[in-house]
Amino acid sequence: MLTTFLNKPLSTVIKVGLILALIGPTLSFFSLILQLNYPSYKALFYALTTYVLDIAVTFIFGVYLSRTSSLSLYKSLKISFVANYPVWICDIFDIYQPLRILSNIGILFGIAFLFKKLSDYKDGKYAIFSIIIYILLYILDSIVSELIATNPILKTLLQEI
């Protein structure tokens, strides 16, 4: 099913991705406020940080693919965005904080999609190395989002505003 998106124009793939990427930050915003009693400014800052970093990392991975393979930037960005669709869809679990860890299931589908697509273009070693980069970017995105959102200096600055 994910491969059908690769036949769509890049603008459509990116628009769908921008919409799907809103699932996690939006649900996190409400669950942080309603379940964990976060101040609304902190929940909003977390949601915005998460959204921007998710999109940035997706573009970075697409550029990485185009630079390290024979794929055009156009094709690489499509693959990068479509690989993140399952990640963003699984962010539905962000609605309830204790289940939030389940949102990471989506990366397994993204990895399977990447392995299938990248194996079509290059040998298996290249696909595995690219998947490792994908996983590292995913982890880095998660860590940086959490660090930014929970930074005490930023908390003080935001309270002043």
For residue 155, the model assigns a pLDDT of 58
Span 55-79, pLDDT tens digits = 999 999 999 999 988 889 999 999 9
Residue 17 confidence (pLDDT) above 90: yes
Give me the pLDDT at residue 69, please. 82
* pLDDT for the residue numbered 41: 83
Q: Report percent pLDDT > 90 for the chain.
A: 49
Whole-prediction pTM: 0.87
| pLDDT bracket for residue 158 (50, 70, 90) | low
Residue 3: predicted pLDDT? 77
Residue 111 has pLDDT above 70, yes or no: yes
- The distance from CA 134 to its chain's CA centroid, rounded to whole angstroms, is 10
Please indicate whether residue 93 or residue 146 has the higher confidence score (pLDDT): 93
